[in-house]
Amino acid sequence: MMGLLLAAILAPVGASIATLIAGWRRATAALIVVSAVCVLGCGAALGVLTRSGTRFALGGLLRVDALTVTMLIVIGSVATLATWASIGYVNAELAHGHTDARGAREYGALTAAFVAAMVVAVCANNIGIVWIAIEATTVITAFLVGHRRTRGALEATWKYVVICSVGIAIAFLGTVLLYYAAEHAGAPAAAALNLDVLAARAGGLNPDIARLAGGLLLIGYGAKVGLFPFHTWLADAHSQAPAPVSALMSGVLLSVAFSVLIRIKPIVAAAAGPAFMRSGLLVIGLATLVIAALMLTLTPDIKRMLAYSSMENMGLIAIAAAAGTTLAIAAVLLHVLAHGMGKTVLFLATGQLQAAHGSTAIADVGAVLRRSRLIGLSLAVGVVVLLGLPPFAMFASELAIARSLADARLTWALGPALLLIVVAFGALARNCGRILLGERPAGTPEIAVPKTVAAALVVGVAASLVLGVTAGPLTGLFTTAATDAGAPR
């Protein structure tokens, strides 16, 4: 087990170092893709080996349970598609003079390092290490958001760094307070931040300190998730980042940050009662949904539209996590995986529209379904996934979320949430109808799709279809993960 854990972490680290030394070449680009596949494979193998329960490694610093396995599968799936598509993206950037050998080297090394940091964040048993890993993703992705070094990219980078740094500083304060409470509850100083130790001592934590720590952690990590009130970075960063990086950030980074809140919620609930974190998640989730739904009706930009869609989905899973039952958390995890796959397909397809038109304005793009069957169908499938229509998995996850909220007697939150989702549904359907079926603007160029991007799109669409038809063994994994996260039945 320890070998698989270390392989999942060290494979992208090794790919990053190799690219940094050798530069962007066919071999190093392929190595980055292989490292992402390794993360996915290790996640699947660990899922088989950890059926008997939670296991620890490196003196308790790393843990493997069903939630860890689930997040490794999400990271590996999205990263495989994004890094595969990155080969065609970077080669096209080099061919058109949008980057140089140094920029390509940095892109490859940072992308692999980004994957490694997310793997550490979901495998760490110590929330201090989790904090370091999440902070590392901020530093790494800041350079990736500003990859093209245009004025807009640099402005988005600074906004992203400032807002997320404030958020992660708030999370640091929450981590310090949780350590203080755990040490005063009798936890060993060296292990006071270990998740298993915190869970065991949760009943003895000072309720007031636990409540304050939980609030700070919710706001701090919520900033990385793109939740209100530190949500304003998300649309700018996603709209300026390279398409594969946007896929990684939207499809998996937001979910990785939210998985930390899933870990922390039962600890705070055991110390201070369930009402505090539940109320916080409901308020923040509903506020995020309101903002996302309104912005979806107003935005004229495709990539910003996808970013606001991510906000909408993160707001929804925050509301679902407030219910906190096994059904709710299992539905959240299915939603996270389905959203990650669908959003990856959409960002990769949108990247080709941006490359062809030099713009992501909805008004500049039209008749995509007639101009490129692959991009048109990929966009159509991705949008149907996001709209939560059958046969795709988000239809099942949203039904399960609605049922879990009703079972938890949170229908007062379910009603507004459904109304806001309908507003977002209408905005997405309208905008994507214009993109796919609208009139072709005069002088629009042909849409060229590199082979690696085409392959990633085909695999992503197929995976979304398979996940929608049957979740297979993942259903049991999600249920076990919900139980491991402390969700009551």
pLDDT digits (tens, 9 = 90+) for 183-223: 988 888 888 899 999 998 988 899 999 999 999 999 999 99
Domain boundaries, the chain: 2-484
d(CA 425, CA 335): 16
Q: Which helix (H) or strand (E) holds 375?
A: helix 373-386
Q: How much is the pLDDT for 383? A: 92
Q: Which residues pair with 64 in a beta bridge?
A: 55
Q: pLDDT per residue over 97-116, tens digit each?
A: 888 889 999 999 999 999 99
Mean pLDDT of 53-61: 82
Mean pLDDT of 311-330: 93
Coil, helix or strand at residue 23: coil
Q: How many CB atoms lie within 10 A of CB 445?
A: 10
**Cα–Cα separations (whole angstroms), residue 404 to 41, 335, 398, 471:** 32, 14, 10, 19
pTM above 0.85, yes or no: yes
Residues 6+ apart with CB under 8 A from 3: none
pLDDT tens-digit readout, 114-145 = 999 999 999 999 999 999 999 999 999 999 99
The encoded tokens of residue 259 equal 């998985």
Query: How far is Cα 363 from Cα 421, in angstroms, rounded to an integer?
Result: 24
pLDDT at position 486 is 60
| pLDDT score recorded for residue 390 | 87
Residues 387 and 429 sit within 8 Å (Cβ to Cβ): yes
Which residues are 124's β-sheet partners? 62
What average pLDDT does this structure show over 173-190?
91
Asked if residue 2 has pLDDT above 90, the reply is no
Q: pLDDT tier at 291 (50, 70, 90 boundaries)?
A: very high
Q: What are phi and psi of 331, to 5 degrees?
A: -65, -40
Residues in contact with 93: Cβ distance below 8 Å, sequence separation at least 6, in sequence order: 99, 103, 104, 242
- Taking all residues of the chain, what is their mean pLDDT, rounded to a whole number? 90
Q: Are 164 and 224 contacting, i.e. CB atoms less than 8 angstroms apart?
A: yes
